Amino acid sequence: MPTSFHLLADAPAQLLPARELMAFTLASHIILVPLGVAFPFITLVMHYRGLRRKDATALLLARRWSAVMAVQFALGIVTGTVLSFEFGLLWPGLMGRWGDVFGIGFGVEAWAFFLEAVLIAIYLYGWRRLKPRTHFLLGLPLPFAALLGAFGILAANSWMNTPQGFSLDSEGNPVDVNVWKAIFTPMFGPQYWHFVVAMIITAGFVVAGVYAVGWLRGRRDHYHRLGFAVPFTIAAVATPVQFVLGDSIARSVFHKQPVKFAAMEIVWETDTRVPEYLFGRLNEDGTVSGGLKIPLLDSVLAGFSPDTKVVGLTSVPADQRPTATQATIAHWAFDIMVLIGSVLVLLALWYGLVWLRHRRLPASKWFYRSAACAGVASVVAVESGWIATEVGRQPWIVYQNMRVAEAVTSTRSTTLWIMLAVVMVVYVFLFGSFLAILLKMRTRWRLADEQRATGGPSPHAPETDTPYGPRAPVPAGDAPAADGGAAGAEGGRR
C-alpha cells in the first residue's frame, strides 16, 4: 500500500474537512490582506503627491481609494473573525497546548487592528473638515498599524514553522516559556519581510491593473495615468527587492526546515550535486515524472556550489514528512510563485528602462496587457507562497512538535463537512457582493466624472454612498438633515 494511503487511514475522519475548511477560509482571507496591509501606504503616497503638487486628480484618487480601503477592511475584519473562531473550532488541540507559547503575537495584532479601525475612520471621515495637512498627518500612522498587525500574524506562523522559546516537561507539555524567543524565531525575519514586500507588490499591481485595463479601453487622461503610474511604480521598485528576499527565505528554509525544502524542491535522497526540477511530479518510490531537470542547479542555489549537500525527504521516517502528493503540491506552488516573481521582475525592468530612457510611461499595448495581468498573477503568487509554506510543513502543525492530526477537533466529520458547505455558500455571497460593490462604486465614479466633464449638476459625491464613506445626505423630504454643527455619528457611540 502506498504510504499516503496508509497515513490517511490512520488520520481521524475530521482531519480532511477541518483542513479544507481552514484552507478555504484562509485562502479567501488572504486575497484581502494585500489591500489591508499595503493599500493604505499606496493611498497615502498618492495623497502626498496631491498635496505637494496641488494635484486635484491625485487627491480625488486618494479619496476614492480610501473608500475602497474601508470596504475591504470591513470585509477583512469579518473574515478575520471567522479565522479566530476557527482556531478554536477546528484546532482546539493546538490552542490548548501551545496558545500561551505563541499566542502573544495575536495580542499585538488585535490591538493593531483596533488602531487601524480608528485611524481608518478618522481618515475616511476627515476629508470634509480637517485641514489637508492635519488630515494627511493623521492618516500617516495607518501603514505602521498595518505593519504591526502583520507582525503579530507572521510571528505566530513563523513560530509554527520553527517553534522555540519553550522546553518540554516529562509529559511533553511546554514549560519555561520565553516569549521573546517565541516571537523572534529563526523564520520570523525572512517570512515577515518576504510577506510585507509581497503585500506591497500585490496591492500595487492589483490597483495599477485596474487602470491598465482602463488604458487599454482608451481612457488615457491624467486620472488614469496617475492611477496607474503611482501604484505600479511602487510595485515595480519592490519587485527586485522581493527577488533578493525570496532567495534569502528559500535559503533560510534550506537551513532551518530542510525537510520542507526537500519537499519544495522534490529532493528524495540526501546528496550533493542535486539537480533542480522545474515542475514535475514526485512518485511514491522517489522517482520524478515529467518536469524539466536542470543538473546541479539545486545544490548551487542552496549553497552556491555543486558540492552543497541537500537533505532529502528520506532523511526522516515517512510519517514525519510530507507525502509524495503533498511534496508535489508544495513544489508546484513554489515553482509557480518563483515563476510569477521572475516574470514580474522582467515587467518591472521594462517599465524602469522606458522610464530611464524616455521619462514617460511605456506606450506598448503589450505592456499594459501584462500590467493588467500582473495584479491577478501576484495574487496567485501570494496564494502559492502560502500553499508552499503550509503544505511543505506537513504533517506538522507545530514543526516536529505536534501533528495536524493531534490538533484537530473531535467534532463529527459530518458536521464539519456541512459547515464547510455553509461557509462556502456564505463566502461566495460575501465576495460576490464585495466585487459587485466595487464595480458599482466604479460605475458611479465614472458617471460623476462624465457629469462633471459636461458641466452638469452632480447630485452628490458618489463615493459618499459606499457603506463606510462619509454618508450621503438625507434624501429631501425623507428625514430632517443634521445641521452643520451637529456632531457626526462617529464617536458618539463609543
Partner 1 sequence: MTADLIAVVLLLAVAAYASAGGTDYGAGFWDLTAGGTERGKRPRWLIDHAMAPVWEVNNVWLIFVLVIMWTGFPTLFQTVFSAMWLPLALAAVGMVLRGAGFAFRKPSRRLAGRRLYGAVFAVASVVTPFFLGAAVGGVASGRVSPGTEASVDAWANPTSLMFGLIAIAATAFIGAVFLTGDARRFDATDLIGYFRRRSLISLAVLTLLAVITGFVTHEDSPYVWHGLTHGLGLLFVVVAGVAALATTWLLRRTPGAWMRVTAVGVVASAVIAWGMAQRPYLLPTSLTVADAAGAPATLTWLAIVTLVALVVVAPAVVLLYWLDTRGELEELTDAELRRGGGADGGGPPPGG
Q: How far is the CB of 487 from partner 1 (least distance, A)?
A: 5
Q: Which residues of 60-80 are buried (b: 16+ CB within 10 A; e: fewer)?
A: bbbbbbbbbbbbbbebbeebb
Identify which range of 29-37, 277-285, 397-405, 436-444 contacts partner 1 by CB under 8 A.
436-444
Q: How far is the CB of 418 from partner 1 (least distance, A)?
A: 10
Of the two residues 1 and 486, which places its CB atom closer to partner 1 in the complex?
486
Question: Any alpha helices (H) in 359-489, and if so which ranges?
Answer: 365-391, 404-407, 413-453
Q: How far is the CB of 114 from partner 1 (least distance, A)?
A: 5
Identify which range of 34-42, 219-227, 293-301, 435-443 contacts partner 1 by CB under 8 A.
435-443
Total binding residues for partner 1 by CB under 8 A?
120
Q: Which residues from 130-149 bind partner 1, rule CB under 8 A? A: 130-132, 135, 138
Distance between CA atoms of residues 380 and 206, nearest Å: 11
Distance between CA atoms of residues 296 and 149, nearest Å: 41
Among 175, 292, 346, 353, binds partner 1 (CB under 8 A): 175
Identify which range of 189-197, 232-240, 283-291, 434-442 contacts partner 1 by CB under 8 A.
434-442
Question: Any alpha helices (H) in 184-257, and if so which ranges?
Answer: 188-216, 222-256
Q: How far is the CB of 132 from partner 1 (least distance, A)?
A: 5
Q: Which residues from 273-332 bind partner 1, rule CB under 8 A? A: none
Of the two residues 253 and 416, which places its CB atom closer to partner 1 in the complex?
416
In sign, the C-alpha dihedral spanning 468, 470, 473, 479 is: positive
Q: How far is the CB of 394 from partner 1 (least distance, A)?
A: 22
Residue 56 engages partner 1 in binding (rule: CB under 8 A): yes
Identify which range of 268-276, 297-305, 373-381, 460-468 contacts partner 1 by CB under 8 A.
460-468
Residue 439 engages partner 1 in binding (rule: CB under 8 A): no
Q: How far is the CB of 13 from partner 1 (least distance, A)?
A: 15
Q: How far is the CB of 193 from partner 1 (least distance, A)?
A: 22
408's grid cell: 484537530
String of contacts with partner 1 for each residue 69-108, x by CB under 8 A: --x-xxx-xxxxxx-xxxxxx--xx-xxxxxxx-xx-xxx
Contacts made by residues 47-55, CB under 8 angstroms, sequence distance 24+: 47/136, 47/139, 48/136, 49/226, 49/230, 51/132, 51/133, 51/136, 55/226
DSSP structural state of residue 321: S
Pairing assessment for the beta strands 281-282 and 288-289 based on DSSP bridges: antiparallel
Amino acid of residue 181: K
Whole-angstrom CA distances from 340 to 201, 231, 367, 401 are 12, 18, 16, 33
Q: Which residues from 349-378 bind partner 1, rule CB under 8 A? A: none
Residue 476 engages partner 1 in binding (rule: CB under 8 A): yes
Among 27, 122, 213, 354, binds partner 1 (CB under 8 A): 122
Of the two residues 59 and 336, which places its CB atom closer to partner 1 in the complex?
59
414's grid cell: 459530518
Q: Is 269 helix (H, G, I), strand (E, B) or coil?
A: coil
Q: Which residues from 391-430 bind partner 1, rule CB under 8 A? A: 409-411, 415, 419, 422-423, 426, 429-430
Q: Read out DSSP for 293-312?
A: EETTHHHHHHHSSTT--B--
Distance between CA atoms of residues 309 and 298, nearest Å: 10
